[in-house]
Chain A
C-alpha cells in the first residue's frame, strides 16, 4: 500500500467508525400501539390450561357438542406433545400464567356506534374505521382480546353471496361449511401450538366467496390484545370458491406489558380451482408477545395464493406461512419483510409443498436486524414426485445494521425427480460505505442516506401492500431507524 492508499484507507476506517458510533441508541416509544386501555373485560378464565378451562370457554361460547369434543381432543394432543426442538427459545412462555380467554365488555355488533367507547377509541387511534369510511375496505372486522366486537361488510357483496363474519356466528349460521373445513389443513397434531389453538381458540374471521365472485376492495380484520398476560387464539377460515378472488388484510397489535402475552392464531385458506387469494399481514405486536402463529393455504388447479407478510413486532415470532400447491398449475407468491430490533427474536420464512405438475412458487424476502435483534429466515421447498416440471425461485436478503445483531438463513430444498427447476439465492451484508459516500456526496445527509437505502431495501415488499399499509410500514421503518441513527 502506498502512502496515498494508506491515507484513503485510514479515512475510510475513520468514516466507518463514525457511522458505527451512531448505531447504539435506545428504541423510541412505539406511541399509538403502546397506549394501554383499562382492562374492562367482563370475564376471564383462570390462568393456565386445564380441562375445566377448556370446558368453561366452550360453554361460554355455546359451542355445539362436536366443537367441545374437538377442543378436548386437541387438549389431549397438546398435553402429549413436546415443545419443538428447533427455533427460538420459548423459555419465557409459561402456560400456567397465560389467561386463555378474555371476554371484552362488548357484544358483537355491525354498528360502529354501538362499540363501547374505550374499545372504539383504541381502534380509532389505529385508523381502522377511517379506512372503512373512505371505502378503501369492503368489510371490517375488529377483535378485542378474545372476542370479535365489530363486523361489517358492504351490502353489494352480501347480495353476491359473500360471507364475512366472526367465527362464532359462522359456527351457528354456516355450521356445515365450518365443520367440513375447520382445522383440516392445520390439524391439532401438526405441532404443540396448533393443538393449543384447537383447545382454546376464540374469535377470528370467516370468509366465504362464492364461485366467480370478485371482491374488488379488500376485507380487513384487526386483532388487538389489551389484557395483560393473556393469550389470543383467533381462527381465520377463508374459502375462495372456483374462479373467485379476494384480498384479505390482517393487522395485529397490542400494548406492552411486563408479563408475557401469547398469540397462537391459526389461518386456514382454501383456494379452489382458478381462484385467487391475496393475504396481507402487518404484524406489530408489542415486545412482550410470543407470536406462534400458523398459516396454511391449500391451492387447487390454476389457483393462486399471494402472501404479503410484514413482521415488525413481538418478542419472539415463529411464522412460516405454508402453501400446498395441490392442483396442476397452482401458484404461490410470497413476499415478506422482517425487522428485528432490540430484544426481538424473529424467526420467519415460508414453506411451499408442491404436489402437482407445473406448479410454481416465488419467494422473496428481506430481513433487517439492528440493536441486538435476531432475525432468522427459515424456509422449506418440497417438490414431490407427483410434481414434474415444478418451478421455484427463492431470494432472501438480509441487512444488518450493527454487529450486536444476528442474522441467520436456513433454507431447505427437498426435490424428488429430475424435472424440477429450483433456484435459491441469499445475501447477508451491511449498508456499504460506498453507497453512503455516494449519497452524501450528492448532498443528502447521512441519516437520510441510510434511511433511503433501507427503504429501497424493503421497497419490493412495500409496493405489494395496499397504500395505507405501505405508509404504515414506512412509518414503522422510520420509527425503527430513528432509534438507530438518533
Chain B
C-alpha cells in the first residue's frame, strides 16, 4: 500500500497521461481520522455487515471470507459535502465463497474509493453493486478491481451514477482474469446519467486476460436522459424535474433495494431525492 499523500490509488495498467486517469489523487490532506475494520467470515457462515460513514475519515476495511462462507457488506457514505472521505476495501474470497457488496457514494467534497477483490478460491463469487451521485463542484474518484484467480469464478460489477452541476467523476473498473482461471465469467457495466452541461465524466472499463477459457464482458453507457422516456412521462402530466427524478430513481433502485435496513434505505433515498430537488 502506498503512503503517498497525493496518489491514493492506481490502475493496474497505465495509459496516456493526458487523460489523467492513471492515478487517483487526493487534493489536500487525507483526513486524519481512521475507521479501520477487519472482518473474518468463518468457513460456511453467512453474515451481513453495514458500515455507515457520516463524517470525513479514511476508511480501511480488510476482509477474509473463508471457504463456503458468504458476506454481504453494505457501505453507505453520506459525509458532509465539505469534507473528504476515502475508502479502501480489500477482500479475499475463498473456495465456494461469496462476496456481495452494496456501496453508495453520495456525499463528501471528494469521495475517493478503492475496492480490491481477490477471487482466490475456485467457484468463488463477487457481486458488486455501486451507486455514486455527484453535484456542486464535488469529485468522485473510484477504482474497483476484481482479480479472478480461482477456477470457475463469477464476477459481476454493476455501477450506476448520476452527475449534476460542475461535478467530476472518474470510474475505473477492472476485471483481471489470471492464468488458470478456467471457466470464469466476468461482467462489468456502468450507466451514467448526465444532468448538467458543466459535468465531466471519465469512465475506464479495463479487462485484462491471461486465460483463454473465460467469458468477459464490459459495457459502459454515458449519456443524457432518454428523451423517449422523458416524453412519455411528461405526456402523462409530470413536469421535467419530476420526470428526470423518476428516471434517475429507476436507475438507482437496483442498488438501493439491496440495502437491508429499511430505515437506512429510506434515509439514503431521501438524501438523494433532496439533493436532486435542490438542483432544480
Chain A residues in the interface with B (C-beta under 8 A): 16, 85-87, 378, 380, 382, 385, 388, 398, 400-403, 405-430
Contact = CB atoms under 8 A, between A and B. Distances in A.
Given A86-B15, A403-B211, A414-B19, A385 B197 contact: yes
A430 B180 CA distance: 14
A137 to B, nearest CB: 35
Given A401-B212, A422-B220, A426-B218, A417 B207 contact: no
B212 A424 contact: no
Contacts of B116: none
Given A409-B205, A413-B203, 4 more contacts: A415-B200, A419-B224, A422-B220, A424-B221
Contacts, number: 139
B209 interface: yes
Contacts of B243: none
Interface string B166-177: 000000000001
B203 A424 contact: yes
A3 B180 CA distance: 27
A160 B72 CA distance: 72
A419 B197 CA distance: 7
Interface string B181-214: 0100000000000111111111111111111111
B241 interface: no
A430 to B, nearest CB: 4
Interface centre among A380, A406, A412, A415 (most CB of B within 10 A): A412
B21 interface: yes
Contacts of B236: none
B212 A400 contact: yes
Nearest to A86: B14
A91 B17 CA distance: 20
A413 B224 contact: no
Interface residues of B, number: 44
B15 A428 contact: no
B239 interface: no
B195 A418 contact: yes
Interface string B128-164: 0000000000000000000000000000000000010
A414 B200 contact: yes
A422 B223 contact: yes
A429 to B, nearest CB: 5
B263 interface: no
A27 B209 CA distance: 22
Given A408-B209, A411-B205, A426 B200 contact: no
A16 B218 CA distance: 26
A425 to B, nearest CB: 5
Contacts of A401: 212
B207 A380 contact: no
